[in-house]
């Protein structure tokens, strides 16, 4: 897997296939009109991003990285539309949730911004969507590989599991989509998340825009090449949307979360719905993925000093 994926990455960098060649290989938009696509966009997996210097407002390259992120989303929109998507909702799902440059996005889409919000990185999804696309995603905190590997919070959490299986944000969000019968059809990011997502969800379409060397290092494509690759991959994914199955975990679902620090686990242990399983870990059982996500939102967002 590693040798093959790295070879594919090198070939992509050397010579990206013209988009026209890809689009001639997919069914015309008229063959499947009216598709509704959900796009969840993170930033750690975006082309060029490797450190906090690109990932937050205090970073010297953040404004540039916002444009990379925005253009990757635009590429996914173009590709999806080329294969029949007519309605698109985008979720700005990184950091403060206010990264995408709205003035540079198409006028006929809608965008969800900021936090907290129902269903987190999948806010707004429901059973009317035909497929979900994840842009700029990264590996889990349980993974030893990947640029900026973490799950939900790199500062606070060391493991997140669903039914005993470690999951990245890809898995959490695929399970939310699966609850509504919506399959994840495409993901972009580094080679490590492409492998982790495929192992977890099956053969979804992946656009590898960089090769992970370490937590803060990568060999990256140039932005324009990455945009073309994402556009091609999105077009291909939507064209074969009928091939994908939702990742529906049903219920009940058991969530296990491990924290870096001791005291949050001690405090959560006072809740009757929470089982403290060791000094740094808790377990919660929810009837379905919506309840699990609501609990995760509370766990990460609650602050008794919050105002207003």
Q: Please tell me whether the overall predicted TM-score, pTM, comes out greater than 0.85 for this model.
A: yes
Q: Residue 255 falls within a domain, yes or no?
A: no
Q: Residue 272 falls within a domain, yes or no?
A: no
- The full length of the chain comes to 308
The residue segments making up the domain with residue 134 are 2-152+168-243
Q: What is the pLDDT of residue 18?
A: 47
Q: Residue 68 falls within a domain, yes or no?
A: yes
DSSP of the chain, one letter per residue? -HHHHHHHHHHHHH-PPPHHHHHTTS--GGGGTTEEEEEEE-STTSTT--SHHHHSTTSTTHHHHHHHHHHHHHHHHHHHHHTTEEEEEEEE-STTS--S-GGGS-TT-EEE-SSS-TTGGGTT--TT-SEEEEEEE---TT-S-STT--SS-TTTEEEEEETTEE--HHHHHHHHHHHTT--EEEEEEEHHHHHHHHHHH-S-EEEEEEEEEETTEEEE--HHHHHHHHHHHHHHHHHTGGG-------S-EEEEEEESSSHHHHHHTTSTTEEEEETTEEEEEESSHHHHHHHHHHHHH--TT---
Q: Residue 250 falls within a domain, yes or no?
A: no
Cα separation values, 20 from 16, 28, 74, 189, Å: 11, 12, 17, 23
Q: Residue 46 falls within a domain, yes or no?
A: yes
Per the listing, tokens 């309605």 go with 87
- In order along its 308 residues, the chain shows pLDDT tens digits of 444 444 555 545 554 444 444 444 444 444 577 999 999 999 999 999 999 999 999 999 999 999 999 999 999 999 999 999 999 999 999 999 999 999 999 999 999 999 999 999 999 999 999 999 999 999 999 999 999 999 999 899 999 999 999 999 999 999 999 999 999 999 999 999 999 999 999 999 999 999 999 999 999 999 999 999 999 999 999 999 999 999 999 999 999 999 999 999 999 999 999 999 999 999 999 999 999 999 999 999 999 999 88
How many domains are there within the chain?
1
Bond into 116 cis (ω within 30): yes
Domain at 182, CATH number: 3.40.50.10780
Q: Residue 159 falls within a domain, yes or no?
A: no
Q: What is the pLDDT of residue 32?
A: 74
Q: Residue 60 falls within a domain, yes or no?
A: yes
Q: What is the pLDDT of residue 109?
A: 98
Pair type for strands 131-137 and 184-190:
parallel
Q: Residue 261 falls within a domain, yes or no?
A: no
Residue 216: CB partners within 8 Å, gap ≥ 6? 50, 51, 147, 148
Q: What is the pLDDT of residue 181?
A: 98
Q: What is the pLDDT of residue 2?
A: 47
Q: What is the pLDDT of residue 17?
A: 45
Per the listing, tokens 């598709």 go with 35
* Among 288, 253, 276, residue whose Cα is nearest residue 161: 253
Q: What is the pLDDT of residue 194?
A: 98
Distance CA 234, CA 80 (A): 5
């Amino acid at each position: 897997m590693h040798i093959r994926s790295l070879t594919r990455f090198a070939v992509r960098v050397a010579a990206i296939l013209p988009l026209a060649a890809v689009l001639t290989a997919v069914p015309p938009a008229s063959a499947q009109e009216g598709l509704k696509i959900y796009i969840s966009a993170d930033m750690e997996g975006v082309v060029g991003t490797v450190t906090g210097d690109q990932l937050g407002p205090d970073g010297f390259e953040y404004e540039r990285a916002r444009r990379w992120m925005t253009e990757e989303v635009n590429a996914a929109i173009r590709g999806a539309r080329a294969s029949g998507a007519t309605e698109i909702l985008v979720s700005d799902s990184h950091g403060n949730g206010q990264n995408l440059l709205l003035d540079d996005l198409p006028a006929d889409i809608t965008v969800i911004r900021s936090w907290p919000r129902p269903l987190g990185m999948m806010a707004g999804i429901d059973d009317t969507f035909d497929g979900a696309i994840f842009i700029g995603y990264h590996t889990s905190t349980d993974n030893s590989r990947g640029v900026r590997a973490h799950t939900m919070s790199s500062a606070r959490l060391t493991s997140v599991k669903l039914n005993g299986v470690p999951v990245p944000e890809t898995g959490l969000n695929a399970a939310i989509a699966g609850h509504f019968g919506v399959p994840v059809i495409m993901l972009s990011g580094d080679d490590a998340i492409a492998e982790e997502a495929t192992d977890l969800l099956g053969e979804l379409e992946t656009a590898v825009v960089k090769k992970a060397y370490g937590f803060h290092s990568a060999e990256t494509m140039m932005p324009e090449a990455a945009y073309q690759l994402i556009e091609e991959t999105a077009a291909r994914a939507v064209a074969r949307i009928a091939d994908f199955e939702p990742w529906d975990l049903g219920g009940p679902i058991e969530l296990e979360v491990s924290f870096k620090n001791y005291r949050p686990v001690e405090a959560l242990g006072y809740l009757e719905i929470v089982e403290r399983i060791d000094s740094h870990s808790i377990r919660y059982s929810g009837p379905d993925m919506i309840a699990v996500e609501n609990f995760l939102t509370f766990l990460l967002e609650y602050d008794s000093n919050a105002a207003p």
